[in-house]
């Protein structure tokens, strides 16, 4: 029996690869790993790098992953690939940005001001209309 | 009865409006198809991730991640509310906001504080007047959303949970049932409840690299992010579907209005002609 394993490579935005392969090489956090069938169960995070997929009788395929997680079971390998570049301090910066935006949105009362202005104008116009209506009636 | 000319200009202006609503309907229809494709493309990721998490939960790791720990006492809760950036999409946003407000009210009656995380400009505009505090906000994501744009916003809420400043985290989103129906949904993000799945019961003894803590942390973070990302993508599909329906009914209404006005116009024209003829006849008789 030919030794194969099933590989799934998925990212949050779409599925990238799914099929039967003979070996996978991945850039793991602690160094590159080569996964052949019957590998011992392993979970590891990935560095940004190249994923090499070997399929019997076909040319090797390469996929770029910008990090993610690799799960290995004896005959099933799953790569959860990131689409965004991740780093602890980069994430932190993004979080700060999101907070800043919230504060800006709260401070920005311009929208409300415009609404208030429009409302005042509307009230004035309605008052004018009522005046015209009254004058018409008086004339009749 | 209004004059002929006035009716004619009114018809012309309604026709212009109808042209716009028809165009918007068609644009929304084509965008909806793309958004639906994107929505379906995001499914495998969270499914696979759920599998992996299921395996890990059954692998009896000695480490318990903060996301899996339920806070016994609830003092403050967080809501992530997904909305659209633009209007003219029927009651889509309002329905979701109503569902959110109802859930919030239940907590507020128990004296629980509320933190908000808003995705989309409409949500920001709506909840600005709300008494809860807005922790983070992101808007103007466009039709093609990338997960990178959401990471920061979600992280603020996840950090708040880890620190213990919020004790529950909810997600308010629109569920895409079909083109005609979008249903607002409030679901619990945190704490994560590990599902007991018989299929996943076999016991894997994983090797963790670098260690269980780091891997679990990355995995769970990405899992929550992918759920929120999915709901944002789904919301785009909902937005387009809702807009398509709203614009379709607007076009139909415009058509009805035009038909009514056309009738009124014809009557007015007929009346004017009749009047003219009777005047001529009257004039001829006088001669």
B 198-217: CB under 8 A from A: 204-210, 214-215
Place A2 in a pLDDT band, splitting at 50, 70 and 90. Answer: low
Q: Is B17 exposed, middle or buried (0-12, 13-18, 19+ CB in 10 A)?
A: middle
Condensed to tens digits (0 to 9), the pLDDT of residues A31-83 reads 899 999 989 988 899 888 888 999 988 888 888 888 889 999 888 999 998 87
Instruction: Provide the 8-state DSSP code for A36.
Output: -
Residue A20 has pLDDT above 80, yes or no: yes
Q: Which of A8, A29, A111 sits opposite B209 (nearest CB)?
A: A29
Phi, psi dihedral angles at B185 (to 5 degrees): -140, 135
Instruction: Provide the 8-state DSSP code for B42.
Output: T
| pLDDT in the model for residue B172 | 94
Q: What is the dihedral of CA B156, B162, B168, B171, to 10 degrees?
A: 40
Q: Is A130 exposed, middle or buried (0-12, 13-18, 19+ CB in 10 A)?
A: exposed
How many CB atoms are located within 10 Å of the residue B275 CB? Answer: 10
- B134 interfacial to chain A (CB closer than 8 Å): yes
Closest CA to A44 of B221, B220, B218: B218
Question: Which tokens is A115 given?
Answer: 């609404």
Which of B56, B77, B89, B118 is flagged as catalytic?
B89
pLDDT above 70: percentage of residues in chain A: 77
| pLDDT in the model for residue B66 | 83
Give the residue, A107 or B200, on which the prediction is more confident: A107
Q: Give the distance from residue A126's alpha carbon to the nearest chain B alpha carbon, in angstroms.
A: 22
* Whether the Cβ atoms of residue A26 and residue A79 lie closer than 8 Å to each other: yes
In chain B, the N- to C-terminal Cα span, in Å, equals 32
> Do the Cβ atoms of B48 and A8 come within 8 Å?
yes
* Per-residue confidence in pLDDT tens, chain B, 287 aa: 568 899 999 999 999 999 999 999 999 999 999 999 999 988 888 888 888 887 777 666 667 788 888 888 889 999 999 999 988 888 999 999 999 999 999 998 998 989 999 999 899 888 887 766 888 888 888 888 888 888 888 989 999 998 888 999 999 999 999 888 999 999 998 888 766 555 555 666 788 888 888 888 888 888 899 999 999 999 999 999 999 999 999 999 999 999 999 999 999 999 999 999 999 999 999 88
A 40-99: CB under 8 A from B: 40-45, 68-69, 71, 73, 78, 80, 82-86, 91-99
| pLDDT in the model for residue A22 | 92
Closest CA to A65 of A37, A78, A46: A46
- B40 interfacial to chain A (CB closer than 8 Å): no
- B89 part of the active site: yes
- A127 interfacial to chain B (CB closer than 8 Å): no
- For B215-239, letters b (16+ CB in 10 Å) and e give bbbbbbbbbbbbbbbbbbbbbbbbb
User: For every residue of A61-111, which 3-state class applies, written as one string?
Assistant: EEEEEEEEEEEEECCEEEEEECCCCCCHHHHHHHHHHHHHHHHHHHHCCHH
ipTM over 0.95: no
Q: Which of A8, A68, A102 sits opposite B137 (nearest CB)?
A: A102
- What mean pLDDT value characterizes chain A? 81
* Whether the Cβ atoms of residue B151 and residue B225 lie closer than 8 Å to each other: yes
B chain contacts of residue A10, beta-carbon cutoff 8 Å: 44-45, 48
Place A115 in a pLDDT band, splitting at 50, 70 and 90. Answer: low
| pLDDT in the model for residue B273 | 94
> Do the Cβ atoms of B137 and A101 come within 8 Å?
yes
* Whether the Cβ atoms of residue B237 and residue B43 lie closer than 8 Å to each other: no
Give the residue, A93 or A119, on which the prediction is more confident: A93
d(C-alpha B133, C-alpha B115), whole Å: 5
Q: From residue B198, how far is each of A115, B58, B132, B194 by CA, in Å?
A: 57, 10, 41, 12
pTM of the model: 0.82
B chain contacts of residue A43, beta-carbon cutoff 8 Å: 52, 56, 206-209, 215, 219
| pLDDT in the model for residue B205 | 75
Give the residue, B273 or A98, on which the prediction is more confident: B273
| pLDDT in the model for residue A130 | 72
Give the residue, B141 or A104, on which the prediction is more confident: B141
């Amino acid at each position: 029996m030919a030794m194969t394993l099933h590989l799934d490579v998925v990212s949050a935005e779409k599925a990238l690869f799914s099929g039967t392969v003979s070996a996978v090489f991945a850039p793991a956090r602690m160094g590159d790993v080569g996964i052949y069938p019957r590998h011992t169960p392993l979970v590891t995070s990935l560095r940004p790098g190249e994923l090499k997929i070997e399929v019997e009788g076909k040319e090797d395929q390469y996929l770029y992953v910008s990090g993610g997680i690799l799960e290995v079971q004896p005959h099933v390998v799953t790569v959860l690939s990131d689409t965004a570049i991740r780093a602890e301090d980069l994430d932190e910066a993004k979080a700060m940005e999101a907070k800043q935006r919230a504060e800006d949105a709260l401070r920005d009362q311009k929208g409300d001001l415009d609404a208030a202005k429009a409302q005042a104008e509307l009230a004035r116009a309605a008052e004018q209309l009522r005046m015209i209506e009254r004058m018409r009636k008086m004339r009749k | 009865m209004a004059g002929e000319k006035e009716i004619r200009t009114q018809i012309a202006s309604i026709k212009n409006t109808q042209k716009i609503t028809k165009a918007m309907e068609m644009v929304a229809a084509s965008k909806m198809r793309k958004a639906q494709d994107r929505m379906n493309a995001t499914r495998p990721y969270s499914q696979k991730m759920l599998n992996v998490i299921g395996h890990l939960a059954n692998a009896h790791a000695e480490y318990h991640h903060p996301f899996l720990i339920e806070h016994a006492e609830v003092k403050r809760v967080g809501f992530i509310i997904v909305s659209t950036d633009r209007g003219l999409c029927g009651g889509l946003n309002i329905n979701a906001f109503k569902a959110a407000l109802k859930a919030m009210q239940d907590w507020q009656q128990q004296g629980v504080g509320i933190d908000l995380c808003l995705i989309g400009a409409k949500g920001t505009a709506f909840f600005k007047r709300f008494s809860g505090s807005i922790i983070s906000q992101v808007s103007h994501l466009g039709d093609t959303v990338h997960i990178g744009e959401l990471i920061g916003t979600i992280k603020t809420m996840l950090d708040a949970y880890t620190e213990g400043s919020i004790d529950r985290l909810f997600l308010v989103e629109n569920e895409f049932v079909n083109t005609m129906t979008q249903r607002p949904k409030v679901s619990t993000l945190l704490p994560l409840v590990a599902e007991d799945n018989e299929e996943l019961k076999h016991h894997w003894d994983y090797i963790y690299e670098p260690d269980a803590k780091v891997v679990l942390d990355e995995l769970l973070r990405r899992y929550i992010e992918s759920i929120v990302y999915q709901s944002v993508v789904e919301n785009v599909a909902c937005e387009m579907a809702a807009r398509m329906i709203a614009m379709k009914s607007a076009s139909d209404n415009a058509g009805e209005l035009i038909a009514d006005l056309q009738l009124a116009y014809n009557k007015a024209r007929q009346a004017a002609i009749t009047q003219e003829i009777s005047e001529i006849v009257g004039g001829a008789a006088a001669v």
